[in-house]
Amino acid sequence: MAGSIKIRAKIESDGACEVKALIKHTMETGMRKDKDGEKIPAKFIQEILCKHGDKVVLETNWGGAVSKNPYISFRFDGASKGDKIELSWTDNTGESDAAEAIIK
């Protein structure tokens, strides 16, 4: 699933860093059925980890009720322009991806 993450981070006027990320993922709950009445197996992101350098700035657990192609945004203190931010996800089938961005 390489290339599934679009991430942007920017220092806002109050000095906090705002991170916005879009992830390409089906986020299938496992409760839906296809047209033949077969259950579509669950496939959704369970964990998202976001790091500023080595420091974890957000740890997230998601269930299947987060929308398809999920969006996430949050803010944290202590970052400066040019720092690196890293976001990674893991889904219930063990698949994962990670991406980095430079804070603007």
Partner 1 sequence: MNMKRRLFLKGTLASTTIALAAGAGLITPQQLLAAWPESAFGAKSVDDAYSAIGGGARTPSDAVMIKAPQIAENGAVVPITVSSTLKGVTRIAILVEKNATPLVALYQLPTGTHPYVSTRIKMGKTSNVIAMIEAEGALYTAEKEVKVTIGGCGG
Q: Which residues bind partner 1 (CB under 8 A)?
A: 16, 27, 29, 31-35, 46-47, 49, 55-68, 70-78, 88, 90, 92, 94, 96
- If the CB atoms of residues 55 and 84 are measured against partner 1, the closer one turns out to be 55
Nearest distance, CB of residue 102 and partner 1, angstroms: 19
φ, ψ of residue 40 to 5 degrees: the values are -85, 125
Nearest distance, CB of residue 90 and partner 1, angstroms: 6
- Measured distance CA(72)–CA(87) in Å, rounded: 11
Q: Is 42 exposed, middle or buried, given 0-12, 13-18 or 19+ CB atoms closer than 10 A?
A: middle
Nearest distance, CB of residue 74 and partner 1, angstroms: 5
